[in-house]
Amino acid sequence: MKCRKCKTPAEVALPSHNTAFCRDCFSVYFTGQVEKAIRRHGLINPGERVLVALSGGKDSLGLMLELSRLGYDVTGLHVDLGIPKSSSAARAKVEGFCAAHGLTLRVVELEKEGLPIPDVKRYINRPVCSACGKIKRHWFNRVALEEGFEVLATGHNLDDEVARLFANTLRWDAGYLSDQGPCLNAESGFARKIKPLYRLSEFETACYAFLNGIEIHTAPCPYSGGASFTGHKRLWADLEYKSPGSKIAFYDGFLKRGRPAFAQVEKETGAPLAPCEKCGSPTSTGLCGVCRLAIAVSERRAADPDRD
Ligand code: SF4
Ligand SMILES: [Zn+2]
Ligand SMILES: [Zn+2]
């Protein structure tokens, strides 16, 4: 197979675009998709500072590299979850990547913040991933606001977005359907949240990381009992195989025709927000959910006779 653009041997085949690229032309294609996402949805304005959430995986590290190459003012933010072995391995990849590319990195250690995820798992009676996701989102937004970043970027790719949209649609969850998309504008104590990789598939972000020699953290979290959207991703992979281009058509169609209708519903029912009494994060309940979690963990840890 030959590269569609320059006719040298192709290295990456992209059936959904009915094409294949060599290494250099794939890079141009990848950049073009990121630029298109930024332009089409006004993700980043000139001069804005961008905080990039870095997990150590292919998507977030690839996003950081691409935005820095495009000349944006980027800083990485890694939340060290405090999970034995797993968290230090992920953190090492993020630190190594940022050092190799001369990129600024900020690290939040949940151990120091009184909320290491093993304690959340032990003392809080709810699925650990839902609490962990909430804590990470809290810190991404909190650091963005406290340190003056206008924009918070995450590495969600097209497969992530389609799987989430599909799950929300199956439940007709109007709240989630009202604000899913590549850009959530800043409001009520929230920084603008953007997903510049939303046009690129998981396969494409993996190719980008591989072709750019990015060393990524691949070991699954020991607490992941099978990620929630894996089944939906398999269904969509099947659909995409039979009908290339289905994913982006489904997602783009939602952005154009579905989301505006749901946004209207949410505006009429959303609860008013005020700063958390302890940390200043937006909440509708006096103390925000993460401060309440931290208090609960600290009380139960103090009362636990087995804890050293
Ligand atoms: S799988 Fe691990 S890192 Fe991911 S949300 Fe669950 S506990 Fe957190
Ligand atoms: Zn080429
Ligand atoms: Zn709080």
Q: Which atom of ligand 1 is nearest to the CA of 130?
A: 5
Residue 132 C-alpha to ligand 1 middle, in angstroms? 6
More confident residue, 102 or 305: 102
Could you report the per-residue pLDDT of 155-186, keeping only the tens digit for each?
A: 999 999 999 999 999 999 998 899 899 999 99
Helical axes 23-41 vs 58-69, angle rounded to 10°:
80
Residue pair 108/77 in contact by the 8 Å Cβ criterion = yes
Residue identifier of the C-alpha nearest atom 1 of ligand 1: 224
Residue 136 C-alpha to ligand 3 middle, in angstroms? 13
Residue 297 C-alpha to ligand 3 middle, in angstroms? 14
Q: Is the CB of 128 under 6 A from ligand 1?
A: yes
Q: How confident is the model at residue 188 (pLDDT cuts 50, 70, 90)?
A: confident
Domains of the chain: 30-216+225-273 (3.40.50.620)
Residue identifier of the C-alpha nearest atom 3 of ligand 1: 221
**Separation of alpha carbons 154 and 139, rounded Å:** 13
* Average pLDDT over every residue of 247-266: 90
CA 149 to mean position of chain CA atoms: 17
237, pLDDT greater than 70: yes
Residue identifier of the C-alpha nearest atom 5 of ligand 1: 129
pTM of the model: 0.94
Lowest mean pLDDT among 5-9, 206-210, 259-263: 259-263
Non-local (6+) Cβ contacts of 192 within 8 A are 150, 151, 152, 183, 184, 185, 186
Q: Is the CB of 131 under 6 A from ligand 1?
A: no
Non-local (6+) Cβ contacts of 208 within 8 A are 26, 27, 30, 58, 62, 66, 200
User: Mean pLDDT score of the chain, rounded to an integer?
Assistant: 94
Q: Is the CB of 221 under 6 A from ligand 1?
A: yes
Q: Is the CB of 134 under 6 A from ligand 1?
A: no
Residue 25 C-alpha to ligand 2 middle, in angstroms? 4
Question: What one-letter code names the amino acid at 114?
Answer: G
More confident residue, 84 or 307: 84
**Separation of alpha carbons 300 and 308, rounded Å:** 13
Residue 225 C-alpha to ligand 1 middle, in angstroms? 9
Could you report the per-residue pLDDT of 19-61, keeping only the tens digit for each?
A: 999 999 999 999 999 999 999 999 999 999 999 999 999 999 9
Quick one: pLDDT at residue 265?
A: 72
Could you report the per-residue pLDDT of 102-137, keeping only the tens digit for each?
A: 999 999 999 999 999 999 999 999 999 999 999 999
* Average pLDDT over every residue of 91-99: 98
Quick one: pLDDT at residue 278?
A: 95
Residue pair 79/108 in contact by the 8 Å Cβ criterion = yes
